[in-house]
Every structure is written in C-alpha cells, then in structure tokens.
C-alpha cells in the first residue's frame, strides 16, 4: 500500500520539478514535447486553481444501491494488483449487473502518474476505463521504460492503441492548466475523505484499506441482503 499524505504535508511530492523538455528520436516524429511544469502538490493547489471542471470517471448504473470510490495511482503497484485481482471480478459480478456504481479517483505520487492520468482522460469517459486497464496491466513496462522521454513515448503509445491521434495526445499532455486542476482536485478529494494511502476504498462513504475480492464481496453481499 502506497502512503502519500505524510509526504504531501512535508511538501516533498514532486509532480514535476521544473520545465521538462523531451526530444524524441528520430526528429521526424514528435520532435519536442513540453510536459506540465508543476513544482509540487503544495504549490499547485492554490486558491486560484479551479478544479470544478474535472470529470468524475464512473462506471455502472447511476441508481445502483452501492457506490464504491477507489483512490488509486497509475504508478502504484498495489493498485495494479487490485485492478487485476479485485476490480475485474467486481465489474463482472456487481458493476455490470447494476449492483454497484464505481468511481475511480486519481492520486498523484509523481509526474509519471499525472501524465498517465492525462493520457487516460484524453479520450473522455468512454475510453478512460479501457485505457486504465491497459496502463495498469502494463505498469511494470511503461514505468520502467527508462528516462522521462521513454516513459512519455510509452504513454503516447497507449493513447494511440486506444485510437487517439498524436495531435490530440500532444495537446492533452501539454495542458498545464489541466495538470494543475487535476492535482488540486486530487488534494481536495483526499483531504475531504481523509485518504492516506492507495488503494483506498470508500464503500457508501465508509473507508476501507486494500482488500482481496472475497472480503470485498462479503461486505457487498451483506449490504445487499440488508
């Protein structure tokens, strides 16, 4: 389980530590990409940062009897494990059958997790969970692709596999206002829900730490039977 609140309090979580310029080779491809320049999560979430336009990523029926909110990071290995071992059967057994509405809320430990979120959100609600599947399944590959240039390239590849064009991906990755709004949104949510680690689940507002599918199913069945 990845813990982040103590680091935020210390002001030491770098989403991006300055202006990052990445040059791809060969020069015939996207030659230069400017990715968001954000010093740290403390300074980003200023009073002037408006996070009101950030869209909640939701799957399942709006009137489902149970709502689950997952706080997760694209660079958190525990989140990748949860996505594979718990979220997939949860979707099949409860979300797709109208019993659970599931909300995914991004957490940013580092710039790479932020970039991954910006790529996943680039295609809108209809592509988000499919791209999330891919990014979680291949987390061990793209997070270890090498330097920031290689990681950015791997994330763009994920976007292209989802049917996005290079120009669209470029615009999403260069949207510094969106990056700041996302981090502010993350901070507001985490503070409101007292979230200190990932993955964290809120089941009808009640906070739970990481768990296996059998334990989660027991909680959900008890709620449905009650």
pLDDT at position 79 is 95
Cα–Cα dist 134/158, whole Å: 7
- pLDDT at 159 > cutoff 90: yes
pLDDT tens-digit series, residues 85-116? 999 999 999 999 999 999 999 998 888 999 99
The pLDDT confidence band at residue 47, using thresholds 50, 70 and 90, is: low
Interval 116-132 mean pLDDT? 94
The pLDDT confidence band at residue 50, using thresholds 50, 70 and 90, is: confident
Q: Which residues of 194-206 are buried (b: 16+ CB within 10 A; e: fewer)?
A: ebbbbbbbbbeee
More confident residue, 120 or 50: 120
The token pair at 123 is: 């295609």
pLDDT at position 7 is 39
Between 10-19, 31-40, 65-74, 124-133, the lowest mean confidence (pLDDT) is in: 10-19
Closest CA to 114 of 15, 18, 39: 15
- pLDDT at 127 > cutoff 70: yes
Interval 36-47 mean pLDDT? 45
Mean pLDDT of the chain: 82
Residue ranges of domains in the chain, CATH in brackets: 2-7+19-225 (3.40.30.10)
> Residue 183: enclosing H or E segment and its boundaries?
helix 176-193
pLDDT at position 113 is 92
């Amino acid at each position: 389980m990845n813990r982040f609140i103590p680091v935020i309090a210390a002001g030491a979580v770098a989403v991006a530590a300055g202006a990052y310029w990445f040059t791809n080779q060969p020069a015939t491809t996207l030659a230069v990409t400017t990715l968001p320049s954000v010093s740290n999560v403390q300074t980003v979430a200023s009073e002037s940062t408006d996070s009101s336009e950030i869209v909640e990523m939701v799957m399942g029926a709006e009137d489902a009897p149970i709502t689950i909110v997952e706080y997760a990071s694209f660079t958190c290995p525990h989140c990748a494990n949860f996505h594979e071992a718990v979220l997939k059967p949860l979707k099949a057994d409860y979300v797709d059958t109208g019993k659970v509405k599931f909300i995914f809320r991004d957490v940013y430990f580092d710039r790479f997790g932020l970039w991954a979120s910006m790529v996943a959100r680039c295609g809108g609600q209809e592509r988000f969970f499919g791209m999330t599947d891919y990014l979680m399944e291949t987390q061990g590959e793209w997070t270890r692709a090498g330097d920031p240039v290689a990681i950015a390239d791997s994330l763009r590849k994920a976007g292209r596999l989802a049917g996005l064009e290079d120009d669209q991906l470029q615009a999403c990755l260069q949207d510094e206002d969106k990056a700041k709004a996302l981090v502010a949104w993350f901070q507001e949510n985490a503070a409101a829900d007292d979230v200190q680690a990932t993955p964290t689940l809120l089941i009808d507002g009640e906070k739970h730490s990481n768990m296996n599918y059998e334990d989660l199913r027991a909680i959900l069945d008890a709620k449905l039977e009650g």
